[in-house]
Amino acid sequence: MDDTAFYQVSTLNSLMLGNFDGVVSVEELLRHASWGVGTFEGLDGEAVLCDGHVYDGRADGSCTEQDPSALLPFCAAADFTGEAERFSIHDCCSLAAVEEALDAARDDGNDNLWHLVALHGLFPQVRWRSCPKQEKPYPTMEACAREQREFEAHAQAGWVIGVRVPPYMAGVNMPGWHLHFLSEDRRRGGHLLDLAVQVAAGRLQSYHEFQLVVPVSPEFGSEDLTQDLSAATQRVEGQ
């Protein structure tokens, strides 16, 4: 796979139905991508890929870099190339405003491509969440989300890293922006729920090639992935 393609492991519908077994290792993932988002086996925290390092923001509030052998059941990631656009945003008072600013920064005007963003800056307020690790038999992701732990910080420097998925990929992934937070010291992180930005700068890139790796497990093979889980997904993702 060349470095201009987007790389995804499993599908969102499969994750929503509770397929939390690991599919690829951190070591394998980093052969394909250096930036992105995901989760770990058993839904054990929120994965943040930051410049070739993979961190796990867990439900106990900790965040640590993961070993090469750690497994992920789901992730969406890519590498930036020389075509990545550099941009900055400032004075955004909410996550919705940040997403609007990211959309405005996209110079391709193409909603049908994949996008990757990595934004570094100072955040007057940031709120994120993570779910505790699950044991088999796994519940659905919506049931797990009822146990999620939420965290908040103020005047926090760090990273916002995420992907934008085109609308026609619903079920394979969640259309729109999916953003994770990682603190400057890499000790806190998770799935973004809200964010204010004083000033931040970063890179943004679009991709027209897409590689999907799916599980080979019997559980995945027996799942009905044609279900419309969009309402449950919206509830889980905090939209």
Q: What is the CATH number of the domain that holds 98?
A: 3.30.1330.80
Measure the CA–CA gap between 209 and 4, rounded to whole angstroms: 7
23-27, 134-138, 235-239: least confident range: 235-239
Condensed to tens digits (0 to 9), the pLDDT of residues 161-189 reads: 999 999 999 999 999 999 999 999 999 99
Confidence of residue 3 (pLDDT cuts 50, 70, 90): low
Q: Give residue 1's pLDDT.
A: 41
Write the CB contacts of 185 (distance below 8 Å, at least 6 apart in sequence). Answer: none
Q: Domain of residue 184: give its range.
A: 5-236
Confidence of residue 4 (pLDDT cuts 50, 70, 90): confident
Across 5-32, average pLDDT: 98
pTM attached to this predicted model = 0.96
pLDDT of residue 145: 93
Domains in the chain, number: 1
Mean pLDDT, rounded, for 17-30: 98
Convert the pLDDT of each residue in 29-56 to its tens digit.
999 999 999 999 999 999 999 999 999 9
Quote the Cα angle for 2-21-210, to 5°: 20
- What's the pLDDT score for residue 17? 97
The pLDDT-based confidence of 237 (bands split at 50, 70, 90) is confident
